[in-house]
Structure 1
Amino acid sequence: MSSLEDEIKQLEDELIKTPYNKATSKHIGRVKAKIAKLKDEAVNRAMKAGGGGEGYQVKKSGDATAVLVGFPSTGKSTLLNKLTGTESAVGAYAFTTLTVVPGALEYKGAKIQLLDIPGLIAGAAMGKGRGKEVIAVVRNADIIIILVDVFNEAHFDVLLRELYDAGIRINVPKPDITIKKSAHGGIRLNAVGTLDLDIEEVRSILAESKMMNADILIRGNATQDDLIDAVQGNRVYIPAFIAVNKVDLVDKERYLEIEHDIGERFGSPPIMISAYGGYHLEELKDAIYDCLGFIRLYLKPHGGEADMEEPLIIRKGSTVEDVCNKLHREFVQKFRYARIWGKSVKHPGQRVGLTHRLLDSDLLSIIVEH
């Protein structure tokens, strides 16, 4: 174990031994901030050591990218083959997949890029195994499918910890925290809504990053961990769900026990599948589609009839500008205005600009300069 990992372990032990109360909150905040800095340092060191590795640079394609994350030999390659028809090597031994293997899943009109990556192991975030390359691919995905099997289902918390240590936040919204450094004036905290953090906790966390003068604005509540993440500034927030593979190898009692246990610990029930037997793969496709938050958009050429047969598939929260970029980059350069019929506007045919956010089943007409 490196001295950096030793130091992290000592600080984590100290946190476990320190009861949280008003008197200790300032100290706990500072220790947490120090751990976060050291972990980032360890991850960055691992990322720089040895470069990227052949086969790990995957260009994103389609409407969204989903990545399969799991231990070696949980059936990721078999699942990718069944869902996409991609020929990813399959074997009954660890580390069959040595590079990232992309496949394409077409479902409900959406084109989803599905990535099979080498199995994660404990310590991956710190660069063990092929951790540094794998983590870089995961951070760039739109959703994460955490794949475990019926023989290691209880270890999904190890995967979650590796993702957390690599700055990946699962199924949580990004906290609305703005930090503006200043030359003087100390730490000034402003909050919109109820905030459990007090100014002393904030000062102790920022002091660990040698930030003594700053304006902090927090909208909504936030924890010490949220503030530390905002200070570090390199976190990614990605939706995820758990799929349990090889369920055809256990009896009904064990099946239900695994389903209940993961549902309780993860906060939502897993998708129970058999990649080899094809069990519940349609339900898995539904879960992928729903997790990606797709909406349908119908396009109407200026002065023409709307195409109601083949909707354009876009992500929830997309703007008119996002659609223009998806159709052709010149649409943004020559954009004049757009008209919309649907739930995102107050009246049919309303005129909107590039920043307008679209809703499911909107009908859109884009008017450009000729």
Structure 2
Amino acid sequence: MPANLTPDYFKAEKWFKSASTDEERILALEEMLRVIPKHKGTDHMRADLRKKLSKLRTAVEEGGKKGGKRTDIFHVPKNGAGQLVLVGTPNCGKSSVVAAVSKASVNVTDFPFATQTPVPGMMYHEDVQIEIVDMPPITPDYAPAGMVNTYRNCDIIGIVIDVAADPLEQMEVCTEYLQSHRLLPDENTDEQDEQGNRLARKTIVICTKIDAAPDGTIETLAELTERDFEYLPFSAHTGEGLHEMVARVFELLNVVRVYAKKPGKEPDMKEPFTLDKGSTVEDLAFTIHRELAEKLQSARAWNAPDIHDGQNVQKTHELTDKEIIELHFA
């Protein structure tokens, strides 16, 4: 019986043959199994693919258990005011989002699994830098083991859904992955682990390719999804929703920007310090220099509500967004 293999299968097979790592071969085999026609003519091929996949997974797992210090390719140090890390299925548009809002060298292609390691970039909300991280895609059957640590260390998770192609199926894959690792807040998930580390992360849904989706798709997806997510429409083709998405991420970071001013000089309005809301003048001093903070005597504030410009404030003065602070040390 003929196999009648599809163009998508041959693309995945070509990718498998050109793969340079076992991790990449695993992803390619996953894709081959996903797109191969399922009938008697492909029974032996599918069995062979599953056998290859099992061997590769075993090899990768055993290699990770053997001695020797290994570099964690999924460790992405935080930069800027906060970090947004994307999660999504193959070809959902993650790389297109990163390319649209930053200058990161992402690989935007029509071929799945083009992203194999985290790709960080910096996006701007006004004068504030926010880090955005493209990640390898996940499937119902596979996600790189070390990738979960990237999500555990970030500030916000962005579920990227191509709303022009089976959005509910994509959502189920992403939420199942995040829930299985206790990254989504709900009544069944503790907010902290035994060591007091925060588990669940703020999560948004970035709906890509809205210019190609039928009207009402996002509303239908929201109704069919059990969780109460916030949905942000986005089109890399038209630019729709770009600025709104970045602005909303800044709001969710829950930070304030503060401009430092040296006595007798103009404030530096180009690179603000970003601190958590509720931070004080003393917290700002520690952010600038820990040793100097111990010598902090007083401060003056501008552009703050309920006080006059240049007024003296206490160390405990709570900072507000776009405030200008002049620190005085002993």
Question: 1:140: Cα distance to partner?
Answer: 1.1
The 5 A counterparts of 1:263-282 are 265=225, 266-282=227-243
Equivalent of 1:352, from 297, 314, 323? 314
Q: Which runs of 5+ in 2 are unaligned?
A: 1-60
Q: Is the 8 A contact 1:240 1:291 kept in 2?
A: no
The 5 A counterparts of 1:174-185 are none
Q: Is the 8 A contact 2:260 2:326 kept in 1?
A: yes
SS in 2 for 1:278: coil
Question: 1:231: Cα distance to partner?
Answer: 4.8
Residue 297, structure 1, aligned to residue 311, structure 2: no
Q: Is the 8 A contact 2:89 2:173 kept in 1?
A: no
With the length of structure 1 as denominator, give the TM-score of the two structures.
Answer: 0.60
Question: 1:76: Cα distance to partner?
Answer: 0.9
Whole-angstrom CA distance in 1 between matches of 2:77 and 2:149:
13
Whole-angstrom CA distance in 2 between matches of 1:233 and 1:346:
41
Equivalent of 2:208, from 245, 249, 254? 245
Question: CA distance change for structure 1 residues 61 and 167 in 2, over 3 Å: closer, same or farther?
Answer: same
Question: CA distance change for structure 1 residues 133 and 345 in 2, over 3 Å: closer, same or farther?
Answer: farther
Question: CA distance change for structure 1 residues 61 and 92 in 2, over 3 Å: closer, same or farther?
Answer: same
Whole-angstrom CA distance in 1 between matches of 2:213 and 2:188:
42
Q: Is the 8 A contact 2:207 2:234 kept in 1?
A: yes
Question: 1:230: Cα distance to partner?
Answer: 5.6
The 5 A counterparts of 1:215-254 are 225-226=189-190, 229=192, 231=194, 233-252=196-215
Deviations along 1:27-86, one digit per CA (max 9) or x if unpaired, are xxxxxxxxxxxxxxxxxx99x757865532322222221111112221111221111122
Deviations along 1:287-315, one digit per CA (max 9) or x if unpaired, are 2222222323243333x356385472524
Whole-angstrom CA distance in 1 between matches of 2:305 and 2:184:
31
Q: Is the 8 A contact 1:296 1:311 kept in 2?
A: no
Q: Is the 8 A contact 1:168 1:238 kept in 2?
A: yes
Aligned to 2:167: 153
Residue 134, structure 1, aligned to residue 147, structure 2: yes
Whole-angstrom CA distance in 2 between matches of 1:306 and 1:263:
52
Q: Is the 8 A contact 1:168 1:235 kept in 2?
A: no
Question: 1:152: Cα distance to partner?
Answer: 3.5
SS in 2 for 1:338: strand
Question: 1:285: Cα distance to partner?
Answer: 1.8
Question: CA distance change for structure 1 residues 321 and 169 in 2, over 3 Å: closer, same or farther?
Answer: farther
Structure number with the bigger relative contact order (C-alpha 8 A, sep ≥ 6) is: 1
Question: CA distance change for structure 1 residues 267 and 326 in 2, over 3 Å: closer, same or farther?
Answer: same
**1:250 is aligned with what amino acid?**
A
SS in 2 for 1:102: strand
Aligned to 2:13: none
SS in 2 for 1:258: helix
**1:134 is aligned with what amino acid?**
M
Question: 1:326: Cα distance to partner?
Answer: 3.7
Equivalent of 2:79, from 32, 41, 61? 61
**2:278 is aligned with what amino acid?**
G
- Number of equivalent positions: 262
Q: Which runs of 5+ in 1 are unaligned?
A: 1-44, 173-222
Question: CA distance change for structure 1 residues 109 and 89 in 2, over 3 Å: closer, same or farther?
Answer: same
**1:159 is aligned with what amino acid?**
C
Question: 1:96: Cα distance to partner?
Answer: 0.9
Question: 1:329: Cα distance to partner?
Answer: 4.1
Whole-angstrom CA distance in 2 between matches of 1:164 and 1:319:
35
Aligned to 1:287: 248
**Pairwise CA RMSD of aligned residues?**
3.4
Equivalent of 1:362, from 312, 318, 323? 323
Whole-angstrom CA distance in 1 between matches of 2:281 and 2:325:
9
Aligned to 1:105: 123
Q: Is the 8 A contact 2:167 2:221 kept in 1?
A: no
The 5 A counterparts of 1:42-53 are 49=65
Deviations along 1:145-172, one digit per CA (max 9) or x if unpaired, are 11111113213243233223323244x7
Whole-angstrom CA distance in 2 between matches of 1:368 and 1:321:
11
Q: Is the 8 A contact 1:52 1:133 kept in 2?
A: no
Whole-angstrom CA distance in 2 between matches of 1:96 and 1:103:
17
Whole-angstrom CA distance in 2 between matches of 1:258 and 1:230:
34
SS in 2 for 1:81: helix
With the length of structure 2 as denominator, give the TM-score of the two structures.
Answer: 0.66
Identity percentage of aligned residues: 26
Whole-angstrom CA distance in 2 between matches of 1:226 and 1:136:
17
Aligned to 1:212: none
Q: Is the 8 A contact 1:76 1:116 kept in 2?
A: yes
